[in-house]
Structure 1
Amino acid sequence: MSEGKRLRRSPEGGYARGDETRRKIIEAAIALFGREGFEGASTRDIAARAGVNAPALQYYFENKEGLYRACAEWIADEAWQAFEPAVLRARAVLATQASAEALIDAFIDILMCVADRTFVKHHEPDQRLFFAREQSGGEPEIGSMILQERIRGPLNKINVDLLERITGTSAQDPITVVRMFSLYGQFLLFHLARRSTLAMLGWHDIDAQNAEFLKTSIAEQTRMLLKFWNAQHVERERSR
């Protein structure tokens, strides 16, 4: 399958007009793939939503599968720009004989970056629906492969490595993986079951104030759990 055509640039160094057209097509496709699924979304409807002629899709992406791949790459690249600084900081911490507190701070730093994507970017429901369909199966496998390689894999790796140092339990141990997903599950529920959680809290939306409240609460709970697991690790080491 083709990697898709590279973005063209104008001689002046800015994005060419075609790049804006490409972006519009991708955004329209993310919306329709999320709402209708890969099979249900037609290239004609995607082109109409993007305000372009149908042949433009073939020009930029060759076929529908190429467009789906471009959507996954677009989402992955955008997300990684938000996550990469915290991941790099965490890698730097892991490269030293850092204290438990520094390791915990690094874990929470990444957690809060992901929370920002969940709460602050909640005005992008199209991406949520795209993710939900991709996770449920039935969509082209290339989407999951791209998201795993560019986002999920690196995030999971750095998180279990931090947990290994904090808790003393191997990164490959199932309990470490369960702990990681449990900690991230604290806010993913607000992402996946938004309507139910908002109703329970009596909120109309997760605005900036509510998002900060959730982030603070989750960070405090996470710190308490990580300190507890670290204390257990220290006690085990002392008793040897």
Structure 2
Amino acid sequence: MSQPRRPRRSQAGGYARGDETRQRIIAAAVKLFGEHGFAGASTRDIAAAAGVNAPALQYYFENKEGVYLACAEFIADDIRTRFEPAMRHAAGVLKGEGDMHALIDAFMSLHEVMLDMVLSDPQASNRRLFVAREVAGEEPRVASTLLEQRLKQPLNKLRLTLLARISGTTTRDPVTRIRLLTLKGQILPFFYPPGGCLDELGWKAIDAAKGALLKATVMEQTHTLLESWQSSR
């Protein structure tokens, strides 16, 4: 696959950003690119899965490279949008003289968004497969690079700064960075169900009730750790 070029038509003009047909094509393409890779997902299969005819892909995206780029941009922008309110709140707390409760609450809000995406987003597994292929070097790093620039870098900076303020350390302190990794690590076992975590839990799937239990448990553990690091500063 060559590096995808931007579609000939601007995404902002000619048709609405939220156009239903366009979004159906993107949703179908994310799933098929994730399952079969760029080479294995044909435009014919994408069109069929989206319930449109093949020329519709050319109309909206010009070619398969354009479809892939649109998928990458959609994934990055949609995830950033989900985090945006919690990130704005955290930035506001850090700019002010927020007390320890406000700092912990801001960190917990960011953690909650990630848990909700992992445990209750029906499209999460498709998106993870799409990005995972890039990380594995199977496809050009398009979505993963956009995610790094638009979300991961600013989000990690916020979380590190919050954690440093809570624990009385600095963002450069290795302990602060290790602690942040351990907090992220609480979520990682649930990123790719079904998997080892289901075997450990004795579950066949993570339904709404089990997802709520997982979220509540991880949130409680995170809050306990943050309070412990704050009290020992």
**TM-score, normalisation: structure 2:** 0.87
> 1:122–1:169: structure 2 CA closer, same or farther, 3 Å change rule?
farther
Tell me if the contact between 2:61 and 2:67 (Cα under 8 Å) persists in the aligned partners: yes
**Matched letter for residue 232 of structure 2:** Q
Quick check: 1:85 aligned with 2:90? no
Cα offset for 1:35? 0.1
2:52 aligned partner: 52
Equivalent of residue 6 in structure 2, options 2, 5, 17:
2
Tell me if the contact between 2:194 and 2:204 (Cα under 8 Å) persists in the aligned partners: no
Percent of aligned pairs sharing the same letter? 47
1:232 aligned partner: 232
Quick check: 1:151 aligned with 2:169? no
Cα offset for 1:7? 4.6
1:97 aligned partner: 97
> 1:199–1:191: structure 2 CA closer, same or farther, 3 Å change rule?
same
Cα offset for 1:32? 0.8
What count of residue pairs does the alignment treat as equivalent? 228
Tell me if the contact between 2:135 and 2:141 (Cα under 8 Å) persists in the aligned partners: no
Greater mean alpha carbon deviation, residues 136-145 or residues 122-131: 122-131
Cα offset for 1:122? 4.1
Q: Distance in 2 between matches of 1:8 and 1:222?
A: 44
> 1:137–1:170: structure 2 CA closer, same or farther, 3 Å change rule?
farther
Quick check: 1:177 aligned with 2:177? yes
Q: Distance in 2 between matches of 1:174 and 1:76?
A: 29
Which runs of structure 2 are paired with 1:77-226 in the superposition (5 Å)? Answer: 77-122=77-122, 124-226=124-226
Tell me if the contact between 1:7 and 1:19 (Cα under 8 Å) persists in the aligned partners: no
Q: Distance in 2 between matches of 1:192 and 1:29?
A: 20
Tell me if the contact between 1:5 and 1:60 (Cα under 8 Å) persists in the aligned partners: no
Tell me if the contact between 1:38 and 1:140 (Cα under 8 Å) persists in the aligned partners: no
**Matched letter for residue 121 of structure 2:** K
**TM-score, normalisation: structure 1:** 0.84
Cα offset for 1:123? 5.6
Q: Distance in 2 between matches of 1:21 and 1:122?
A: 19
Q: Distance in 2 between matches of 1:122 and 1:198?
A: 17
Q: Distance in 2 between matches of 1:179 and 1:193?
A: 25
Greater mean alpha carbon deviation, residues 19-28 or residues 202-211: 202-211
Cα offset for 1:198? 1.8
**Deviation by residue 1:3-36 (Cα, 9 ceiling, x = unmatched):** 66325577xxxx59x9222112111110111001
Q: Distance in 2 between matches of 1:58 and 1:21?
A: 13
Which runs of structure 2 are paired with 1:6-21 in the superposition (5 Å)? Answer: 6-8=11-13, 15=16, 19-21=19-21
5+ long unaligned stretches in structure 2 = none
